[in-house]
Structure 1
C-alpha cells in the first residue's frame, strides 16, 4: 500500500514538474514575438463561392513595414505585447500604434465576435482549457477584436500555436466590402530561426440571425516577421516611453469593461468619429476624458 501511495506521489510530482517546464517553454516562445521586425504582409483570396455572377474577389495585397513589438506585461499567467508600426524615412519616422496581443494561461472568460460590432461573452470549464493559452487580440484603440484558446506545440524543433475563431473584417477590407460580416480566422503562430510567421487560413462569412453561416470566399494570409537589430526601431521605443502612461489608462478602463462579463455591443461612431480617432488625439490625455469617451462607445 505504501509503495502504491509513494508511486502515485512520484507520478504526480513528475507531472507537475513537466507541466511547469512546458509552461515556461510556452512563455519563451510567446516572448520570441517581441523585438524589431521587418514585416511582409501577404493576403490573397483563393476560392469564391458566391452565386452572384458579378462578384469581384478582393485584390491580392502585399505590403511591407517595420514593426516594434514591446513587451508590456510578463506575469505568471499573462504575457502582453504591444505592436507599433514605424513608417516613413529613417531620419524622420512616424509611429502608428498598431494591434496588441495578450496571452493568458488557462483562461476561461471569452468575448466571441458575432458580427455587427457585437461580442458574446462565454465561459469555458477549466478542463476545456487545461494547459492552453488564450490569445486575445485588440484593435489599435484597445477595443476587442478576436480571441481563441489553443495549446503551444513544441516538436521536431518547431514551436507553434493554432486556433480558429470569429473576427471582424480586417482593416484592408471593412472600408471596401459589405457583402460579408465575419472573418473566420484560422491562425497559426510559428516561431522560426529568423523570427516568426503568422499563417492564416480565413473564411469570409455571411452571418444573418438564426440562419446557417454562408461562406462567401476563402483567403490565405502569410505574414513574415523577420527579426532585425532593435536599434532600427529606436524611434518606436522612444514613442512608447512617451505615451505608455496614456495607453495604460486606456487598458485599465477597457479591463473594467471586460470585467463586467456580459455581452458587449459597441457603437461604430460617436460624434461622427470612430474610437481610435478620439483616443489618438494628442489632447486626449486626462483619465476622466479617456474613461468617458470609451464608455460612450459601450451600448
Structure 2
C-alpha cells in the first residue's frame, strides 16, 4: 500500500512538472520569434474552381525587420515588428499578441468588421490565441491553436478569416475575405510562416471560393548591428505606442462587435496615429495626454 501511495505521489508530481514544462516550452517558442531578420515573402495562387479564372502573378518581396518583445508575462507575450526601410526610415509594422487560454476570439466577418465569440474552457485548455494587429494597432485577425514540440520540431497551427492582405487590398475587388491556414514553424536560423489560404467572396447568400494560394514568409536572422537606427527610433516611440495599445485594449475589452472605418476626412487611421506619435515625441507628452489624444482619434474611426 505504501508503494502504491508513493507511486501515485510521484505520478502527480511528474504530471504537474510536465504541464509546467509544456507551458514553458510554448513560451520559449513564442519568444524565439523575436529577433533581427531578413524576411522574404513569396505567394502563388494554386487553384480556382472557375476554369475561366486568370491566376494573378506570383508575389515576391523582402525586407529587414526587427521583432521586439514589448510585454512578457507568464501567459501573455507581445512582439512588435519594425520594418527598416533604409538607414533613416523605419515603419512601425504589424504586432502579434500571444495569450494563453484566452476566453474569447474576435472573428472577422467582412468589410472591416469583427464579432466577439466566447470560448469554453475545453476549447482554450492548453492553447494560445494569436492576435495579429495592423500598423495602427487595429485588429487584423485572431486565431487559436496548440504549440506542438515533437522530434525537435516546434510549431503552431491555426485557421482564421481576415481582411485582404496588404499586397492586394488596393488591387482586388473580386474577394473580400482571406481564410488563412497558418503554420508557424521554428527553424535553425529563425522561423517560417507558412500559409494555405483561401480567397473568398462573402455575401448574404454565403461564401464563394475564388482561388487558393500558397504562401511562405521566411524570417532568417541577420546581423543585429544593421538595426541601429531602428533601435534609436523605437526607443523614442515605444512609450507613445504603449499608450496607444492601452487605448485599444480598452476598446477590445468592452466591444462585442467592432467595425473600423477605412477613412475619415480622407485620411486612414494609421496616418493619424503616426502623425500623433511624432507630435508626442516632439512635445514630450505624458501618458495621460497620449491616451487622451489617441482615444479621440481611434473612437472617430469606430463605426457606431
1:243-258 pair list within 5 angstroms: 243-258=237-252
User: Aligned residue for 1:170?
Assistant: 165
The whole-number CA distance in structure 2 between the counterparts of 1:9 and 1:271 is 66
**What SS is found at the alignment partner of 2:244?**
helix
**What SS is found at the alignment partner of 1:222?**
strand
Q: CA deviation at 1:187?
A: 0.5
Provide closer, same or farther for how the CA distance between residues 284 and 266 of structure 1 changes in structure 2, counting only shifts above 3 A: farther
User: Structure 2-normalised TM-score?
Assistant: 0.92
User: Aligned residue for 1:206?
Assistant: 201
Structure 1 unaligned regions, length at least 5: none
Q: Does 1:110 align with 2:105?
A: yes
Q: Does 1:27 align with 2:21?
A: no
User: Structure 1-normalised TM-score?
Assistant: 0.93
When the two chains are superposed, the root-mean-square deviation of aligned CA atoms in Å is 1.6
The whole-number CA distance in structure 1 between the counterparts of 2:241 and 2:187 is 30
The whole-number CA distance in structure 1 between the counterparts of 2:151 and 2:170 is 42
1:59-70 pair list within 5 angstroms: 59-70=57-68
User: Aligned residue for 1:267?
Assistant: 261
**What SS is found at the alignment partner of 2:57?**
coil
The whole-number CA distance in structure 2 between the counterparts of 1:283 and 1:241 is 13
User: Aligned residue for 1:74?
Assistant: 72
Deviations 1:74-120 (A, max 9, x none): 101011000000012xxx33101100001111112110100111101
The whole-number CA distance in structure 1 between the counterparts of 2:110 and 2:273 is 24
1:100-179 pair list within 5 angstroms: 100-179=95-174
Q: Does 1:229 align with 2:218?
A: no
Deviations 1:21-65 (A, max 9, x none): 0111111111111111011110111112236x4x43322111111
User: Aligned residue for 1:38?
Assistant: 38
The whole-number CA distance in structure 1 between the counterparts of 2:124 and 2:4 is 30
The whole-number CA distance in structure 1 between the counterparts of 2:120 and 2:279 is 40
User: Aligned residue for 2:284?
Assistant: none
The whole-number CA distance in structure 2 between the counterparts of 1:44 and 1:250 is 35
The whole-number CA distance in structure 1 between the counterparts of 2:278 and 2:143 is 35
